[in-house]
Amino acid sequence: MRKGFTLVELLIGIAILLIISGGVFYAFRDIFQKGTSQALVAKQEQDVQFIVSNLVMELSTVGFGIDRSRLVVLNNGTNLSDVRNSNAVVAINGSEIDFLSLATRQDTSIGCWGITDQNKNITTQARDYLFRPCSSANWGLPTDTSKVICLEPISKRDITSDCASALVFYVDVYNYPADFVTRYYLNTSSNASKLCANGTLTLFKGVGSDSPQPLVDCVGAFRVRYITSQGYLDYVPNSDINNLYGIRLCIMMQVGSRQSTQANINNFGANCGGPVPIPSADWRYYRWSTVEVDIPLKNIRYIR
């Protein structure tokens, strides 16, 4: 029989996970946000590493601050309304992933968390998801719970109507969960950089009802798959969150501009669903970086 966690153990565990997962993202976050109005073009391998690091950090936050009732997988359909209306925390469909997380909005203090006592007062230093201190002065507690989500610390059950002895997450005036659905997808109608090979696409990010923003041009392929109890799949057996261990991120990006000589293209392996079609022989005149990485989903563990 599994032993329950104390609040102290829970805080220590969360702190360690957030510190580990936040290091690289903290270093590049401000630079990455400056590119929201214009997509990046990877001109060298360091650019690829930067882009992938940010994707990994954000995808690893799936389920952060989300209540237990929504910790299910949606195996059919991927768009904002699917996840928002189906009480699901994540859904994928080949080159698109939609998920719930309080950590992907960059507004000040959004997603910051703390712990309340029996009188609904914050008893700990409020922290953001990178474990940096933030202010809880405007959260409204103990009398007003309209700007927070309160979870029972062990089960993650939503107890916002009470908020006593709870994990508290600040959401401000945003609607939970609709405004916290994050979507990564390839846009087939965007105007990519002139440096890009024909047939490449732009990777976009959308959060809630905000206008989607381009992240990187010249993407040859983008796939997301589940890491499950039965291996790498495009679905989670029985849509059971306990069968989901992580996410497999697969992305192929053009590096630099067209070259004078041809080169081989490293395609996706079996864990990414196998090779993608190469639309043109001209692609061999470009350099490609193919990245496959497993991302553990630590925020949805221990929910049985």
Helix (H, G, I), strand (E, B) or coil at 85: helix
CA 35-299-292 angle, to 5 degrees, is 55
Name which residue leads in pLDDT, 25 or 206.
206
Predicted TM-score (pTM) of the model is 0.84
Question: How many Cβ atoms are within 10 Å of 192's Cβ, its own excluded?
Answer: 21
**pLDDT of amino acid 12:** 42
Q: Where are the beta strands (DSSP E) in the chain?
A: 90-92, 96-100, 113-115, 148-151, 167-170, 181-187, 201-207, 213-228, 231-233, 244-255, 287-296
Number of helices (H), then strands (E), belonging to the chain: the values are 3, 11
Distance CA 168, CA 150 (A): 4
**pLDDT of amino acid 260:** 96
Distance CA 33, CA 141 (A): 31
DSSP string, 208-222: TTSPPEEEEEEEEEE
Ranking 57-66, 187-196, 291-300 by mean pLDDT, the lowest is: 187-196
* Predicted confidence (pLDDT) per residue in 136-164, tens digit: 999 999 999 999 999 999 989 999 999 99
Given a cut of 70, is residue 33 above it in pLDDT?
no
Is residue 291 within 8 Å of residue 251, measured between CB atoms? yes
**pLDDT of amino acid 75:** 83
**pLDDT of amino acid 77:** 61
